[in-house]
Structure 1
Amino acid sequence: MKRLITNNKTDNFYNLLIELFSTCKSFYINVAFINYSGLQLLLDSLKKCEKKDIKAKVLTSTYLNFTEVKALKKLQEFKNIDLKIFDSNDVGFHSKAYIFEYDDCYKIIIGSSNITASAFKTNIEWNLKVISKKDDEFVIDVLKEYDLLFKKAYYVDEKFLNSYEDFITQNSAKINQSFIFKQNIEPNIMQSFALNNLKDLRLNNENKALAICATGTGKTYLSAFDVKEFAANKMLFLAHRENILISAKFSFEKIIDNKKLGFFTGNIKELESDYIFATIQTISKNLNLFKSDEFDYIVYDEAHHISSQSFQKVYKYFNAKFSLGLTATPNRSDNQNIFELFDDNLAIDLRLSEALEQKLIAPFHYFGISDIVTDYKGVNLDNIAQLSKLLSVNKRVDFIIEKLKFYGHDKGKRKILAFCINKQHANYMCEEFNKKGIYSTTLLGEDSISNREVAIKKLEDENDGLEVIFSVDIFNEGIDIPKVNTILMLRPTTSSTIFIQQLGRGLRKTKDKEFLTVLDFIGNHNRAYLVAFALLGNRVIDKDSIKLALNNSFAMISNNTFIYMDEISKQRILKQLDEENFSSFRYLKEQFIDFKNSINKIPTLVDFITYETIINPKDFIDESKSYIEFVLKVLKQKCEFSSEFIKVIRFIDSHIKLKRVHEFAILSYLLNHDFVDLNIAKEQILKYQEKVDLNTVKHSFRYLNQEFFDSAQINRQEKIVNLNDDILEVTNVFKNILKNEQQKKIIKSSIEYAILLYEKEFNRTYYSIPFFKLYEKYNMKNIALLCNLDKIHSSFRGSGQLKFKNDYFLFINLDKQNAPKSRRYSNTFFSKDTFSWQTKPNATIEKGDGKILIANQKHKVRLHIFVRKFIKVDNKTQNFIYLGLANTIKYENEKPINLTLKLEKELPTYLYDEFTLNI
């Protein structure tokens, strides 16, 4: 129904507004300006709405400075109203709309009236009143447009009001002077770190980089800060959806104040702009309008789409001075390697666990609930149809709803995203929830983008009845519903990768979300422990790490995140941990197959970084000597590679966790060149490290030349380079191996994985010599390399102490029970920075190492401390954790000497607990 509203002697706009305010469920106002003369007439109606807790949003602007400060301050007093200001400096804000929600319809007025007394009753105003059902296309379009504008605006706060009031006071006579409110936005921890890396990369003549950041951590602001730092004259920001561009432009406007920003989309083509925000679809069809060097800086948002045809067309056409890729999920469904397209330059790789630690995403309350109504015994977890039938029972639905009610959620209505095993399971759950009065819907892969957007909009709308979206996997990555306050995991967790992706869907911070509630229904299947692995991430040192976490409710995870597992789930996981051998081929094969199935392809080594997984492919390499051999073994395929290739790939894969990037930076260069000298090598290494020591470069040359290998190592390895006068030359054998494209591809993947792993673990930081990072894991072979030992490295072995020049390396085994009698030293932590250490049995205080150890500072000797809890776990030798430097503060006795050592930096609580608490 439609009706024209005018001001006349029998009726007026004001009377209609009062009637609508008195009967609506919620309202949204969108006007160019608000005067107190008009607002005063609405105060009684607004107060009644507040008393009835009717939620509202009001959007206005400072267009021509007509909006009055007094009116804004008064509106701020209403607790039920969200008040925002649209920045109208770059684009005029003339819209006037009043939207009122009812049970089954919306009553919408669009026309000419602002909130002023004259507009309400005397002005010549034309307004159209439309009544439409909630699913009407017109209503959906109006709400969508309003939502986009509201998201782009900023909240009215004290800072804004003071700034605007000062401006009005100082410029009351200057009608044409526009008010500009600039918020002081400073880079967060992640952004500051990435900005430094980007600056460093450019200093080393790199022109591309990739930033991987968990959803909600500020990727767009990062790009804006860096564009400003770069001082780009012209910039292109690319995305595949207009709503992303609108949001991005809004973010840039808060940072950039001296450039004209505009859009280049299907509907708008603002070519005169300095900084253009373009849809990839539109610009790929209009490349003729731009020179190849048109832009100094290009931002590729959602960069994991970059291998699509339209993205590739643009990527290959433009030649920018610098390009930055942004993504939260670098994984692709095809075989394209996103890292390679950005020259393997990682500005930052900040995934969910790190983002949580840095408080960049919302905290969550996780409840692991024993799924007692389902028995998985004898069930094949890979048989999806069988699992779906098992999960689709009324008793389980009642159990889930009971737990939903019991645990509750954050304030406001329930906004639930529920993950199911397949389409049939999702449809069943949706139907059953609706039967029980919980308004639900499904979103599946076959649903259109517009259907998804409508459902998401309804779920996020506080006044809409939709509470639950049941899905299978379309929300695993790349789609955000920021206001989700509850996640239901209704399928058995067999993949830590998928678990992390699903958890991440609800962790975007929003103004009104304090925390996310996660209800995970853990069955008695034989891989329930994967949940604990996924929640701990890289904090896992060994099995005891998980046991400790379970027993103290994951206390080491900060940021107001709480993890609780009921006693049944906890005991199941503890039992599985005791029974599982994490080094067995059976277990490793299971891990590999689960990961393969979760990404729907045979994973390359790089995929283990691309996807946020806790799986460590180095375990696969340890089992089969190289990754390709492990893959062939799992897939039961015959190895048809030459013996020379196998020797080369074993050499490369065995060094993947070398803890030094030099060798791999050099090998990467040699894949396409016959030789490398010291200067070229230094340039290559500077891509990944902020500073390079020339002696270390020379040491890496000698290492690749096998000068530090013993005879057994030389026999096992194929020589791939020869060293002549500080020049490394590729051997003929290696040249021939690289002529085979498949072999070269495998070698390249291993080298690239090693480099990316290094970047992820060490970033670009230079740690001096020896090159040790606090709390990183090392073995003695690593240590020999990282202190530039110039002897055969396999000789660098010792039971508790090694030394090279003025560096002493002290190794502590905390597990006394399983250590050989000759190595059961008295090593105990007294506090987070003080512990006892016992020397070799023959050490005395009068001479040799004993004399130096009791007064190390006097002798200018550095004591490096390495600790491990167990010598072996599941029959696999464990690495040591580096605790930094320590000094002797007390000693007693001799043969052996009992030393008390004090660390220069005290242990973090989680490590101290690992080393001291009995499980």
Structure 2
Amino acid sequence: MIPIALSGDRSYNKDSIRRYVSEGTRIIPGASTIHFDEISRKRIFQSIDSARMNDVKLLRESFEQLKYRQGRIPSILDFRKYGSIDVNKYFVKFDSYYAFLVKYYSDEYKVRLTPEEASIIEFLSKKVTNMKRIYELALLQQLLQQRRRVSTYYEKTLEMTYHKKLNLQTEESVVRNLTNEFPKEEERKKYKDCVLIKKSSEGYVLEDKFEKMLNENLEFLKMVDELIQYGIENYQENYSDSYKDTDFQLYQKYTYEDVCRLLNWQRNMNAQNIGGYFYDATTKTLPVFINYDKAEDAIAYEDRFVTRENLIALSKHPRKVNSSDADHFFKRTESDKENKILLFVRKNKDDKEAKEFYFLGEVFAQGEPIPIKMEKTGDDAFEINYKLDVPVREDIYEYIVSEA
């Protein structure tokens, strides 16, 4: 609670809290400064490690406090408006804010949805509001308001309101996300009722069954509208300052799923299949994922920052310097010239609640790959010397490379 109280960060994200303890003087609002001595720091880190940030008691207390201030059951938008806990915590723990209210406040909260409606509210809460880009949210909002073809209006809204241009790959990705085609097989089955749009001869319209639900249940319509508005506000506050021509914002955090989606890949991939990096030939994107704080028994990969703008990273193994992996990184062939290599780094891969990587921008492989033999396995691999397009911001850099 100490770093949360001092920083005002209501996300209850363990990585954010650790970073605050490490770099409090840089992060604390206003002109104040703070320093944690070594003993205090260790005790706080131990407390953070053992804390359950999605604890029901914490969520209920936060709800009760806001309810008392409001004199009524708070709306989803009230949590941000009045500086309460991040309402996304309720989505993660209970699948939706609606499910939380039904479970704990059924005497006072009288709204009830059908199973299909509740599934869509869960899908919007856990997935769509947290897609960390605007395209899906803007399309749904426009369709709710107009209920007819929106191609022309949609593209104009993106350009005029959000300064975004829609290309074909992104448009196809938006359709996959809103028709339940992007998720892994298990989630596709779970959200089988969550097909929200369909393509018409002149643009996009709401899917018939979804539109019927909206027309027949005003409470459901209000929930959908509020969730979309919440997602838009979350995007504008945290993800709207895009880096170059990507949909990523420097130093924000992203999961494997986020990266697959924001790079417009056809499907969400398992983390094990991605490994330390993966090349998608369709989009010519190559995200590199680095766990900087390795476990003691981890295979002897020694990814390491040399400076704030230079990083040494290792290939998968077994891989030789003349492999297709090396071709993709060093852009040796004509088809590899347009490859975009993007860097994602996380401090602590053992944090079960914060499975996210800091986005650090585009990187460029320098020189030639350096062949090495892996110590424990004897496998071939190679080192890559990356130059970062943008030197890592100092506070983020010091947090990542520090041993604390």
Whether these two folds match at TM > 0.5 is yes
| 1:517-564 alpha-carbon deviations (Å, 9 max, x no partner) | xxxxxxxxxx44531341798997344224314xxx524448643235
SS in 1 for 2:8: helix
- In the other structure, the counterpart of 1:652 is 124
- Residues 675 and 698 of structure 1, relative CA distance in 2, 3 Å threshold: farther
- In the other structure, the counterpart of 1:870 is 348
SS in 2 for 1:836: strand
- Correspondence 1:752 to 2:229: yes
| 1:481-524 alpha-carbon deviations (Å, 9 max, x no partner) | xxxxxxxxxxxxxxxxxxxxxxxxxxxxxxxxxxxxxxxxxxxx
Whole-angstrom distance in 1 between the partners of 2:96 and 2:11:
24
- In the other structure, the counterpart of 1:716 is 190
Whole-angstrom distance in 2 between the partners of 1:543 and 1:537:
9
**1:865–1:884 contact (8 Å) kept in structure 2:** yes
The one-letter code sitting in structure 1 at the alignment partner of 2:382 is I
Tell me how far 1:569 sits from its aligned partner: 8.0
**1:709–1:793 contact (8 Å) kept in structure 2:** yes
Match of 1:896 among 378, 381, 384: 381
- Residues 609 and 546 of structure 1, relative CA distance in 2, 3 Å threshold: same
Match of 2:173 among 699, 708, 724: 699
SS in 1 for 2:361: strand
SS in 2 for 1:676: coil
- Correspondence 1:620 to 2:90: yes
Tell me how far 1:815 sits from its aligned partner: 2.4
Tell me how far 1:808 sits from its aligned partner: 1.1
Report matched runs for 1:436-515 at 5 Å. Answer: none
Match of 1:793 among 243, 250, 268: 268
**2:20–2:27 contact (8 Å) kept in structure 1:** no
SS in 1 for 2:274: coil
Tell me how far 1:813 sits from its aligned partner: 0.7
**1:839–1:897 contact (8 Å) kept in structure 2:** yes
Match of 1:631 among 95, 101, 108: 101
- Correspondence 1:643 to 2:118: no
Tell me how far 1:741 sits from its aligned partner: 1.4
- In the other structure, the counterpart of 2:377 is none
**2:4–2:10 contact (8 Å) kept in structure 1:** no
- Count of residues in correspondence between the two structures: 384
- In the other structure, the counterpart of 1:912 is 397
Whole-angstrom distance in 1 between the partners of 2:102 and 2:83:
24
Whole-angstrom distance in 1 between the partners of 2:69 and 2:91:
21
Match of 1:667 among 133, 140, 143: 140
Report matched runs for 1:494-893 at 5 Å. Answer: 527-534=1-8, 541-549=15-23, 554-557=25-28, 560-563=31-34, 576-613=47-84, 615-635=85-105, 640-654=112-126, 655-695=128-168, 696-717=170-191, 718=193, 719-725=195-201, 727-738=203-214, 739-763=216-240, 767=243, 769-789=245-265, 791-794=266-269, 797-805=273-281, 806-817=284-295, 821=298, 825-854=301-330, 859-860=336-337, 861-873=339-351, 875-889=352-366, 891-893=369-371
**2:213–2:220 contact (8 Å) kept in structure 1:** yes
Tell me how far 1:692 sits from its aligned partner: 1.5
Say which structure, 1 or 2, has more relative contact order (CA 8 Å, 6+ apart).
2
Tell me how far 1:780 sits from its aligned partner: 2.2
- In the other structure, the counterpart of 2:376 is none
- In the other structure, the counterpart of 2:375 is none
The one-letter code sitting in structure 2 at the alignment partner of 1:703 is N
Unpaired segments of 5 or more residues in structure 2? Answer: 373-379
| 1:810-852 alpha-carbon deviations (Å, 9 max, x no partner) | 000112117x846x63222222112221111122111211233
- Residues 887 and 564 of structure 1, relative CA distance in 2, 3 Å threshold: closer
Whole-angstrom distance in 1 between the partners of 2:10 and 2:119:
36
**1:845–1:897 contact (8 Å) kept in structure 2:** yes
Whole-angstrom distance in 2 between the partners of 1:535 and 1:609:
12
More helix, by proportion = 2
Tell me how far 1:730 sits from its aligned partner: 2.1
- If the length of structure 1 is used for normalisation, what is the TM-score? 0.38
Whole-angstrom distance in 2 between the partners of 1:856 and 1:631:
57
- Residues 619 and 543 of structure 1, relative CA distance in 2, 3 Å threshold: same
Unpaired segments of 5 or more residues in structure 1? Answer: 1-526
SS in 2 for 1:772: coil
- If the length of structure 2 is used for normalisation, what is the TM-score? 0.83
Computing the radius of gyration from Cα coordinates, the structure with the larger value is 1
